[in-house]
Amino acid sequence: MLSFLLRSVFLGLATAVIVLLAVPSLRSNVIPTALVDPQPSNIASLEVSFNQAVRKAAPAVVNIYSRKYVENDRSKLSTQGLGSGVIVSEKGYIITNYHVVAQADQIVVALQDGRVAAAQLVGTDKRTDIAILRVEGSNLPVIPLNADYKPQVGDVVLAIGNPYNLGQTTTFGIISATGRSSISDGRQAFIQTDAAINEGNSGGALVNTQGELVGINTASFQQATDLETYGISFAIPAPLANKIMQKIIADGRVIRGYIGIDGQDINAVTARLLGNEHIGGIVVLGIDPNGPASAAGFEKQDIIISINGTKVQGRQSVMDIVTDLRPGTSVDVGIIRKGKEMNLKVTIAEDKQEA
């Protein structure tokens, strides 16, 4: 019985194939047209342009020209620099890189609408490579900001600047990594991208596909290391750049808190050795004998797990919390010492490193 049914099914399928081959007009009723003959219009609809993002952001990206004159003779030019900047406020505040305007005697800003203005240097922060300028003017273009945007690996980004003084140029790439912290001492949490950043792009804008500021372009890996590498560039995250700007506007400089310890992240291996795989924080390896931690009674091998009740996950989180504290602030630092949890009260000092 089963063999009879199988023979019947086979003969039926064979007959259907023969009929379809013999009568082509029947095929369109069996096979969907979209699968047989895709329309060119469907392919054309996949074309992507980021023109609207560029139109939103580009007017707020300015060209910056810095000049330094020979000492005691302003008629002789010693050096001149080239870079870019981003207008982030209707009041005329511009974020750029410290290295673009370092030691400049004169700074000139050129807007994309043809206006040129002398810029006031409000303040700088060498550690984050941020400088804040200000220009006078009405109806200044301001770059779109979005405090809720969180950069993710794979996001499409556009780098806008003035490479080699060729004129405003936009390059395209993706976010390759976030939180890069090993590029140079002091500067943390870079955004890594493969969008091209060349000389003159420094201080320009890295924006997303909505034209919103993602970061301030600072350097390519080749520029930072002198290695022959391409497709590796870095930007300072917009929230960090904005935080530095607010501090400079308020105080004329960046005032950072200081606790006076050096430490190492607790990794999975260290956590297992401590008998707690869920522990996070840093192991104290060094203590400034004249710093707040020493005065508070810290010891080497203490494990910092919280500051004022906020759990810490590593050196970067400790640095972020402490540097934002005003000198003179008293905080409770939760530690583990020889397996026992305890709190130490620390009075934050000012970080005197060059800023």
Q: What is the pLDDT, as a whole number, of residue 272? A: 75
Same topology between domain 54-134 and domain 156-242: yes
- Choosing among 2.40.10.10, 2.40.50.100, 2.60.40.10, 3.40.50.10800, the CATH entry for 54-134 is 2.40.10.10
**Domain ranges within the chain, ordered by starting residue:** 54-134, 156-242, 257-350
Q: What is the pLDDT of residues 211-253, one digit of tens each?
A: 999 999 987 544 544 545 567 889 999 999 999 999 999 999 9
Indicate the fold that domain 257-350 takes in CATH.
Pdz3 Domain (2.30.42)
**Residue in 202, 233, 306, 317 annotated catalytic:** 202
Positive or negative: CA dihedral 220, 223, 225, 231: positive
Q: Which of 186, 195, 230 is nearest to 215 (CA)?
A: 195
% of the chain exceeding 90 in pLDDT: 58
Q: Reply yes or no on whether 294 is catalytic.
A: no
Q: At 100, is the pLDDT very low, low, confident or very high (cuts 50, 70, 90)?
A: very high
The CA distance from 55 to 270, in Å, is 51
Which of 66, 84, 129, 302 is labelled catalytic?
Answer: 129
Q: What is the pTM of this model?
A: 0.79
Span 47-62, average pLDDT = 94
**pLDDT, tens digit, 9 for 90 and up, residues 63-89:** 999 988 877 666 666 668 899 999 999
pLDDT at 4: 47
Rounded CA separation 297/259 (Å): 12
Burial of 37 (0-12, 13-18, 19+ CB in 10 A): exposed
Which amino acid is it at 264?
A: Q
DSSP string for 109-137: EE-TTS-EEE-EEEEEETTTTEEEEE---
- The pLDDT of residue 273 is 72
Mean pLDDT over each residue of the chain, to the nearest integer: 84
For the domain 156-242, what is the CATH code? 2.40.10.10
- Is residue 99 flagged as an active site residue? yes
If pLDDT is split at 50, 70 and 90, which confidence band does 151 have?
Answer: very high
d(CA 212, CA 214): 6
